[in-house]
């Protein structure tokens, strides 16, 4: 069975930090690139950051220097450390995993998705 389950979202003041976690089934995480996307109601889901099985990371320009993805392959868990949070970071954050080839920045590349966790940053 394949599953991804995010946790760690919540309400934080601007400038604060949060760490998201995504617990994945072995089938979802094994040898796969995993990523974080986010979505604001009424807008398209957008790429935030990714980390390959071997630890190669990529970031959206909007989060470079503030967010850092990481993973623990032994625990099948993906993380997103978010620092210096801004009100514009408010969104539902989704964990995703890809067993396909393709652009890591595109939703279509990912075949497994979590249900999302809400992050709200107050000004």
pLDDT in tens, 100-119: 889 999 999 999 999 999 99
- pLDDT per position as a tens digit, 3-57: 999 999 999 999 999 999 999 998 888 889 999 999 999 999 999 999 999 999 9
**Contact between residue 14 and residue 87 where contact means Cβ atoms under 8 Å apart:** yes
Pairing of strands 10-13, 117-122: parallel
What is residue 70's predicted lDDT score, i.e. its pLDDT?
97
Asked if 3 contacts 24 with a C-beta cutoff of 8 angstroms, the reply is yes
What's the mean pLDDT in 58-70? 97
């Amino acid at each position: 069975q394949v599953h991804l389950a995010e946790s760690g979202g919540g309400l934080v003041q601007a400038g604060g930090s949060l760490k998201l976690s995504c617990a994945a089934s072995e089938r979802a995480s094994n040898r796969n690139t995993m990523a974080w996307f986010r979505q604001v109601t009424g807008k398209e889901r957008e790429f935030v950051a990714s980390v390959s099985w071997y630890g190669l990371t990529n970031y959206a320009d909007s989060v470079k220097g503030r967010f850092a993805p990481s993973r623990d392959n032994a625990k099948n868990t993906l993380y997103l450390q978010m620092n210096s949070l801004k009100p514009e970071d408010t969104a539902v954050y989704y964990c995703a995993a890809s067993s396909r080839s393709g652009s890591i920045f595109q939703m279509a590349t990912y075949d497994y998705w979590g249900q999302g966790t809400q992050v709200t940053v107050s000004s």
